[in-house]
Amino acid sequence: MSNLVAPHRLRSRIDWRLCFIADMEALAGTDVLRIIGEAAAGGATIIQLRTKSRDTREFLQVVMKAAELLRNRKVPLIINDRVDIALACDADGVHLGQTDMPLPYARKILGKKRIIGISANTLDEARAAEKEGADYLGVGPIFQTSSKIDLPPVLGLEGIREIREKTEIPILAIGGINIVNVADVISVGASGVAVISAIAASDNPRGAATELIEAIGKVFLKERQGN
């Protein structure tokens, strides 16, 4: 295995099972920090913060408060798209899409002590991200979802299975994942899942996170007992 894809110490310390994406547009009209706190308390192992419409100063204000909250809870914080914001709040890393800053440039800015995830919709995109040194892949959409417009093609379970078989870094599956289908997604090889509405749209975000992390844990436990 090349040095680029070999798990480094930071990546190995991340619990990939459940990432809550705190999308500020999806959470408009709510207390974003409260929901982040509830998700973390319920068992979310990673929080990703993202916005597509808020200005930099407003986003930074929320991010700084979230970073302090999650630091106290020892839950990693990932910033979507914004390498500068990640640096400003001392986040654990960034998540980049296919049209965001190319990974080598982001790595040059962030260094090796922060993780960088890359969105992938195809096997070629996944392999390219791994070759460039991505720490994890955000693979999807697995199912149809209303959380994002202009979606690329839906991959389904077979799509994530193929990418898992031909890459080695952790995979966070995303897109339409909920308590009904989360076990199936983990069973085909995802290291964890990233969700928005499964937690954000719940009347009980903490309880929703707990249900998801317990369902994921049961799959991993069954796999260990079967080996």
Mean pLDDT value of segment 41-64: 96
- Residue 113 designated active-site: no
* Helical (H) or strand (E) element with 206: helix 205-226
Alpha carbon 211 to chain centroid, angstroms = 18
- Residue 50 designated active-site: yes
Catalytic residue among 50, 107, 114, 164: 50
Alpha carbon 18 to chain centroid, angstroms = 8
52: domain CATH number?
Answer: 3.20.20.70
- Beta pairing partners, 219: none
Q: Do the domain assignments include residue 175? A: yes
Catalytic residue among 119, 147, 191, 202: 119
Question: What domain range includes position 170?
Answer: 15-226
Number of domains in the chain: 1
Output 135 or 146, whichever has higher pLDDT.
135
Q: Do the domain assignments include residue 10? A: no
- Beta pairing partners, 80: 95
Output 55 or 2, whichever has higher pLDDT.
55
**Structural contact between residues 44 and 199, judged by C-beta atoms closer than 8 angstroms:** yes
Q: Do the domain assignments include residue 9? A: no
Q: Do the domain assignments include residue 8? A: no
* pLDDT score, position 11: 65
Q: Do the domain assignments include residue 208? A: yes
Q: Report the distance separating Cα 17 and Cα 12, nearest Å.
A: 13
Q: Do the domain assignments include residue 2? A: no
Catalytic residue among 54, 127, 148, 161: 148
Q: Report the distance separating Cα 207 and Cα 213, nearest Å.
A: 10
Q: For the whole model, what pTM was predicted? A: 0.93
Residue 150 has pLDDT above 50, yes or no: yes
